[in-house]
Structure 1
Amino acid sequence: MSEPFTDSTEAVTDRPLNIPEYFLLLCLDDEKGKLLLDGPTVGMGIAGAALVELARRGRLEVTRSTVRSIEHPQQVFAADPNPPVWAHSTGLEWPLEQVWDIIRAFTRHRDAEQWINRFSRQTLRDAVAASLVKRGIVEEDESTVLWIFHRTRYRERDEHFEHELRDRIRGVLMDGQPADDVTWPLISLMRTTRLLHRLFPDVDKAHIRAAAITPVGSPATELSMSEALLATENAVAEALTATTGGASALD
């Protein structure tokens, strides 16, 4: 079932990029604008990133067995001595707001892996790409191959965001710098989707594993973020098993 992620009416702002936007940016070839991974894997990564971002913002509680929407994030961060800036805000940007609305409206039990599979279809990926286009970070390039096949690529217009992010990730993996609640989940998602070694081929596997499995951020949300990341890993592994007959180890 594809979700109707309608076009955004959100005004262009200078807000920081969210985790799904960062992940998609990392998945794009800088020059050609095509995906570095297959579409289904990117879709699951973006779906997992959306759950992680909503958990990071105190809008989802994620456990092994369920995902629960949270109306008032200030309740989540009430005991945090240094709450993040969004602790007192209920606003969400598009398409995260629509993802959250769909989860909130669903009345039956569904775990994180089921939500990841549901949101992994191309509609969410296209919506995240559209938000990057609106910010002027990438530009959409549509073409037809052999007069039949429609092709859309996203070439970078503003390289600052990805270069700054790669420097932060490289600092964590190679220079011993501390991770944060953006670099930690992105390293985990890149490891899960096999993207990390394509972008950082010389990083020691032990450093990757340590950075991927060590929670960082608010104590109020790191458990939910960890569960969303684990669900993404499971969803990708199961998809790989279904298509190849066996999942290879991450490390």
Structure 2
Amino acid sequence: MLVVEDLMLLLLDDETGTPAAAGTLPYTLGGAVLVELALLGRIEADSAQGLNGPKVYAVGDGPLEDPLLQEAYDKVAEKPRGAQTLLLTIGSKLWDPVVERLIERGLIRREKKRVLGLFKMTMLPAADTEYEAALRDRIRAVLVDGAEPDPRTAALIALLSSSGALPQLRPQLAWSSAVIKRAKELEQGNWGAVALDTVVTRTAAAIAVSTAVAAVTVTTPPSS
């Protein structure tokens, strides 16, 4: 499973398949793919923050095994771009392929229904919740129990928090000021020892920060 698949699975309501934080979804999904490329050592980001976040560069050689990651990598490789520009460029095309992957894995299913006997509606309820429950347990261990996150879990929490979807997860976390503070720390790239290890995790953390900035920009109404 890719980070973006884990993220989508967590965002989809188990009963209806409606995604939480739908307004920022393209940015969040794009952030998940860029984080994955960073963790694979295939992109790096400038330390300086420009208008559209740090510039992102393709690095490394050879094809990637996953075609979804390869397509995103090829887009990065075209030319250096600001992270926030890449988030939307990549993320706007991810809904359909990621949903299809989750259906193929048997984690969600597609249902066709009629509302009021007239309007057709497609629903994407959960089909198998065991894997998702394990993801939630990992997130709960970090936020509630204070466990040290691995890079993937840190990235997932950062992306969920930046999208505004974290409080909407069901079953809901035992919210407290400590949990909220921990989630915000991860959202802002403070991954502790994880992010200090290599340029790989530092780049992944920087992408997560850019995703948070993009999400805030999208959801903040313009001043009159």
What is the CA distance between 1:49 and its match in structure 2? 0.7
Q: What corresponds to 1:110 in structure 2?
A: 81
Q: Which moved more, 1:49-58 or 1:212-221?
A: 212-221
Q: What corresponds to 1:186 in structure 2?
A: 156
What is the CA distance between 1:145 and its match in structure 2? 4.9
Q: What corresponds to 1:57 in structure 2?
A: 40
Q: 1:56 to 1:245 in 2, by over 3 A?
A: same
| Greater fraction helix | 2
Q: Tell me, yes or no, if the aligned pair for 2:57 and 2:81 is still in contact at 8 Å.
A: no
Once residues 148 and 129 of structure 2 are traced to their aligned partners in structure 1, the CA distance between those partners, rounded to angstroms, is: 24
Question: RMSD of the TM alignment (CA)?
Answer: 2.2
What is the CA distance between 1:115 and its match in structure 2? 0.5
Q: What corresponds to 2:29 in structure 1?
A: 46
Unaligned 5+ segments in structure 1 are 1-16, 73-88, 247-251
Q: What corresponds to 1:169 in structure 2?
A: 139
Q: What corresponds to 1:230 in structure 2?
A: 209
Instruction: List aligned pairs for 1:115-134, cutoff 5 A.
Output: 115-121=86-92, 123-134=93-104
Q: 1:103 to 1:164 in 2, by over 3 A?
A: same
What is the CA distance between 1:148 and its match in structure 2? 7.7
Q: 1:124 to 1:178 in 2, by over 3 A?
A: same
Q: Tell me, yes or no, if the aligned pair for 1:58 and 1:70 is still in contact at 8 Å.
A: yes
Confirm or deny that 1:70 pairs with 2:45: no
Percent identity, please: 27
What is the CA distance between 1:165 and its match in structure 2? 0.4
Query: How many pairs were matched up?
Result: 208
Once the two structures are superposed, what CA deviation does each residue of 1:154-189 show, in whole Å capped at 9, x if it has no partner? 222221211000001001111121111111011111
Q: What corresponds to 1:84 in structure 2?
A: none
Once the two structures are superposed, what CA deviation does each residue of 1:48-83 show, in whole Å capped at 9, x if it has no partner? 1111111111111122432111233xxxxxxxxxxx
Query: What is the TM-score with the length of structure 1 in the denominator?
Result: 0.75
Unaligned 5+ segments in structure 2 are none
Once residues 70 and 152 of structure 1 are traced to their aligned partners in structure 2, the CA distance between those partners, rounded to angstroms, is: 40
Q: Tell me, yes or no, if the aligned pair for 1:184 and 1:214 is still in contact at 8 Å.
A: no
Q: 1:102 to 1:139 in 2, by over 3 A?
A: same
What is the CA distance between 1:153 and its match in structure 2? 2.7
Q: 1:98 to 1:146 in 2, by over 3 A?
A: farther
Q: Tell me, yes or no, if the aligned pair for 1:19 and 1:53 is still in contact at 8 Å.
A: yes
Specify the SS of the correspondent of 1:98.
Answer: helix
